[in-house]
C-alpha cells in the first residue's frame, strides 16, 4: 500500500535523496523547505494535516560541513535558527501524535559548538515529552550526494572539487582525524525502517573507522591526483552509542560509494 510522508528540509542534500527514495516506491511525498518558498520557514510555520502522514521526517537545520559548523562567525546564527526551528516544530509534532523521525548526529553533545548543542537540544525536546512518538537517529557522516562547493559543502565534496580545480586534494587538517561514512542510499533505507519501530534513539553508522587522509588517498587514486595534508589538527569524536536498527546494515562499501560519487562530478 502506498504511503504519505512529509519531509521537513526536503530541499537539502539528504532531503532531496530521501524524496527520490520514497517517490521511487510510489509513495506520496510532501516537502517543506525555506529554500523552496520563504513562506515555508520552519522557524515560524504552523503545520497542518499532520494526521494524514505515515511519518514526518525532520531534517531541517542550519548545517553544513565541518568548516561551516566550526566557523565562529556563524555560531550565533546557528544557535538562533536551530533553537527556533526545533522549539516551533517539535511541540507541534508531539501534539499531533504523528510518528516522526528527528535526524540528529553522533556529534550531539560532543562539544560546545552550536551544531552539537542544538542537536542535543533537539534530542531532548523529542525524548523528554511524556508521550513522545519520536524516533531519534544519531548518524555519522553521510556522503554520496553531489554538492556545490561553498561554505556549507562537506569534506568529500571539497576533496573531489579540490582535485578537479587544483589537480591535487588539499586538506585543511593533517587528515589524521577519524570518521565513519554512510552512503546516502543506505541512510534513506534506515530512515524508512525506523518509522515503524518503537520511539527511541537509534544509530546509523558503518562500524568502519577511517582517517580522513585515507579517504583522500582513495579519491586521489580514483582521480589520479596527489594529496596535500594541511597543518591543522583535526578532532576525532568518539560518538555516542544508541540502538541498532533491526534489519538494517550498510550495503554500499566506501570504495564503491566514492567511485559512484566521483563519476557524478567528472561525467
Q: At what angle do helices 75-96 and 114-127 cross, to 10 degrees?
A: 10
In angstroms, rounded to a whole number, what is the distance separating the alpha carbons of residues 13 and 10? Answer: 8
Prediction pTM value: 0.94
Give the burial class of 100: count Cβ atoms within 10 A of its Cβ; 0-12 exposed, 13-18 middle, 19 or more buried: buried
In 3D, which of 85, 64, 86 has the Cα closest to residue 75? 64
In 3D, which of 15, 54, 52 has the Cα closest to residue 33? 15
Give domain limits for the chain.
4-266
Give the H/E segment covering residue 81: helix 75-96
Q: What pLDDT digit, counting tens, does each position of 212-234 carry? A: 999 999 999 999 999 999 999 98
Cβ count within 10 A of residue 89 = 24
In 3D, which of 119, 101, 245, 135 has the Cα closest to residue 182? 245
Average pLDDT value for the chain = 95
Q: What is the pLDDT of residue 2?
A: 60
Whole-number percent of the chain with pLDDT over 70: 99
Q: At residue 99, what are phi and psi to the nearest 5 degrees?
A: -60, 135
Topology (CATH) of 4-266: Rossmann fold (3.40.50)
In angstroms, rounded to a whole number, what is the distance separating the alpha carbons of residues 263 and 103? Answer: 28
DSSP string, 190-219: HHHHHTTSPSSEEEE--S--EEHHHHHHHH
Tens digit of pLDDT per residue, the chain (267 long)? 468 999 999 999 999 999 999 999 999 999 999 999 999 999 999 999 999 999 999 999 999 988 898 899 999 999 999 999 999 999 999 999 999 999 999 999 999 999 999 999 999 999 999 999 999 999 999 999 998 888 888 999 999 999 999 999 999 999 999 999 999 999 999 999 999 999 999 999 999 999 999 999 999 999 999 999 999 998 888 887 789 999 999 999 999 999 999 999 987
Residue 9, all three cell numbers: 528540509
Q: What is the pLDDT of residue 237?
A: 85
In angstroms, rounded to a whole number, what is the distance separating the alpha carbons of residues 115 and 121? Answer: 10
Q: What is the pLDDT of residue 150?
A: 83
Alpha carbon distances (Å) from 196 to 21, 36, 157 = 17, 29, 33
Amino acid at each position: 500500500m502506498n504511503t504519505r510522508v512529509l519531509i521537513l528540509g526536503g530541499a537539502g542534500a539528504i532531503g532531496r535523496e530521501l524524496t527520490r527514495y520514497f517517490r521511487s516506491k510510489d509513495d506520496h511525498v510532501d516537502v517543506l523547505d525555506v529554500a523552496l518558498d520563504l513562506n515555508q520557514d520552519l522557524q515560524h510555520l504552523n503545520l497542518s494535516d499532520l494526521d494524514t502522514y505515515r511519518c514526518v521526517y525532520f531534517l531541517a537545520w542550519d548545517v553544513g560541513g565541518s568548516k561551516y559548523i566550526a566557523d565562529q562567525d556563524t555560531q550565533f546564527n546557528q544557535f538562533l535558527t536551530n533553537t527556533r526551528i526545533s522549539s516551533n516544530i517539535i511541540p507541534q509534532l508531539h501534539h499531533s501524535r504523528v510518528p516522526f523521525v528527528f535526524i540528529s548526529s553522533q556529534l550531539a553533545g560532543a562539544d560546545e559548538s552550536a551544531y552539537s548543542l542544538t542537536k542535543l537540544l533537539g534530542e531532548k525536546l523529542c525524548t523528554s515529552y511524556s508521550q513522545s512518538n519520536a524516533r531519534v537517529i544519531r548518524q555519522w557522516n553521510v556522503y554520496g550526494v553531489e554538492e556545490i562547493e561553498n561554505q556549507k559543502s562537506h569534506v568529500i565534496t571539497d576533496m573531489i572539487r579540490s582535485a578537479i580545480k587544483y589537480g591535487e586534494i588539499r586538506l585543511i587538517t593533517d587528515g589524521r582525524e577519524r570518521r565513519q561514512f554512510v552512503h546516502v542510499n543506505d541512510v534513506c533505507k534506515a530512515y524508512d525502517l525506523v518509522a515503524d519501530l518503537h520511539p527511541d534513539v537509534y544509530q546509523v553508522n558503518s562500524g568502519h573507522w577511517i582517517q580522513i587522509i585515507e579517504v583522500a588517498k582513495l579519491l586521489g587514486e580514483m582521480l589520479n591526483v596527489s594529496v596535500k595534508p594541511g597543518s591543522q589538527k583535526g578532532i576525532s569524536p568518539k560518538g555516542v552509542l544508541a540502538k541498532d536498527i533491526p534489519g538494517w546494515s550498510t550495503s554500499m562499501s566506501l570504495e564503491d560509494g566514492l567511485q559512484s560519487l566521483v563519476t557524478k562530478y567528472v561525467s
